[in-house]
Amino acid sequence: MRALAILLLALTAAATGADKVTPKTVAIDGTTYQPSTLTVKVGDAVTWQNKDPFPHTVTSKDAGFDSQSIAAGKSWKYTATKRGEFSYTCSLHPTMKATLRVE
Amino acid sequence: MKLSIVVALGSLLLVPAAKSFAQDITDPQIAAIVVTANQVDVEAGKLAKSKGSNKEIKMFAEQMITDHTGVNKQAGELVAKLKVKPEENATSKGIKEGGDKNLANLKGLSGAAFDKAYIDHEVAYHQTVLDAVDKVLIPGAKNDELKALLVKVRPAFEAHLAHAKQVQGSLGTM
């Protein structure tokens, strides 16, 4: 019985741990990127979700990626391939600025 | 004449009237102002997309059509959900009249003169809309969801203003 209890506890802990994976998602909302700085690891896939009623882009000259237009309600995924701190902007709304940090 | 939208919106902001206007304005009136303000910029954008001579002007105009149409779609969905019926008022009528005058003025121009008149108006228009959003519409909105929508779209108007100024500056150097 005791062994079973320990096993159950261990399983529960593992399940809780699995739930704690940090989502690698940036919300585009109110013409801002949230969070404005996101840190990920090389190989991680990052998703930008456009929650505004008009298109935005995720464009980084530093990192060399450009989502092109992401329509309202749509998302775009990018897999981080190189380490560094990359600033990006929306080519349609130049006041929008954020950073992707890849470790 | 081309600045009449600005005058109509600007009349909202007369000090010290702005504060009491924000208190008196109703949600149906705000809804009509929002919808009309977006519509007139979509209409100006459609004209500039077809009549503009500069690539940046055409791209900017196309974005104004897309963004302001998107905002109006969301505003329309919200007012339908809230069962708010947009109510025409002096400000919304003034914006519409100003929009019509702007179109009439632009239709009489072509080439670089058209581009300049369009973008000059866009700069003034977005500045005035921002002021009205900050001083009257957001403080005046009674319904939380209507207020939240205004807060959410405000930074887009700010981005449009910055973008319009950038395009305006680039025309000046050509």
Under 8 Å CB-to-CB from B55, ≥6 apart: which residues? none
Q: What is the ipTM of this complex?
A: 0.83
Give the per-residue pLDDT at B137.
Answer: 95
- Closest chain A residue to B155 measured between Cα atoms? A31
Place of tokens 């007139």: B40
**B70 contacts A72? CB cut-off 8 A:** yes
Three-state DSSP at A14 gives: helix
- Interface residue of B41, B66, B147 to substitute, partner A, most A CBs within 10 Å: B66
Mean pLDDT over the full length of chain B: 90
Q: Which two tokens stand for residue B88?
A: 């025409």
Measured between beta carbons, the chain B residues lying within 8 angstroms of A94 are 159, 162-163, 166
Q: At what angle do helices B144-172 and B111-132 cross, to 10 degrees?
A: 150
Of B70, B154, B158, the CB nearest to A54: B70
A 25-84 residues with CB below 8 A of B?
29-32, 52-55, 72
Place of tokens 């000059």: B120
* HEC assignment per residue over chain B: CCCHHHHHHHHHHCCCHHHHHHHHCCHHHHHHHHHHHHHHHHHHHHHHHHHCCCHHHHHHHHHHHHHHHHHHHHHHHHHHHHCCCCCCCHHHHHHHHHHHHHHHHHHCCCHHHHHHHHHHHHHHHHHHHHHHHHHHHHHHCCCHHHHHHHHHHHHHHHHHHHHHHHHHHHHHCC
**B166 contacts A54? CB cut-off 8 A:** no
pLDDT digits (tens, 9 = 90+) for A29-84: 999 999 999 999 999 999 999 999 999 999 999 889 999 999 999 999 999 999 99
**A54 contacts B152? CB cut-off 8 A:** no
CA B9 to chain centre: 9
Q: How confident is the model at residue B15 (pLDDT cuts 50, 70, 90)?
A: very low
The torsion of the CA quartet B74, B76, B79, B80, rounded to 10 degrees, works out to -110
Give the per-residue pLDDT at B19.
Answer: 55
Q: Mean per-residue pLDDT for B120-131?
A: 94
Higher-confidence residue of B7 and A42: namely: A42
Q: Does A91 touch chain B (CB under 8 A)?
A: no
**A54 contacts B71? CB cut-off 8 A:** yes
pLDDT digits (tens, 9 = 90+) for B27-48: 999 999 999 999 999 999 999 9
Structural contact between residues B65 and B40, judged by C-beta atoms closer than 8 angstroms: no
Q: Which two tokens stand for residue B48?
A: 């500039």
Indicate whether B22 pLDDT > 50: yes
Q: How confident is the model at residue A12 (pLDDT cuts 50, 70, 90)?
A: very low
The torsion of the CA quartet B17, B93, B64, B2, rounded to 10 degrees, works out to -80
Q: Which two tokens stand for residue A67?
A: 């989502």
Measured between beta carbons, the chain A residues lying within 8 angstroms of B156 are 31, 52, 54, 93
Q: How confident is the model at residue B16 (pLDDT cuts 50, 70, 90)?
A: very low
Measured between beta carbons, the chain B residues lying within 8 angstroms of A96 are 159
Among candidates B10, B40, B12, which has minimal Cα distance to B25? Answer: B12
Measured between beta carbons, the chain A residues lying within 8 angstroms of B69 are 54
Give the per-residue pLDDT at A62.
Answer: 86
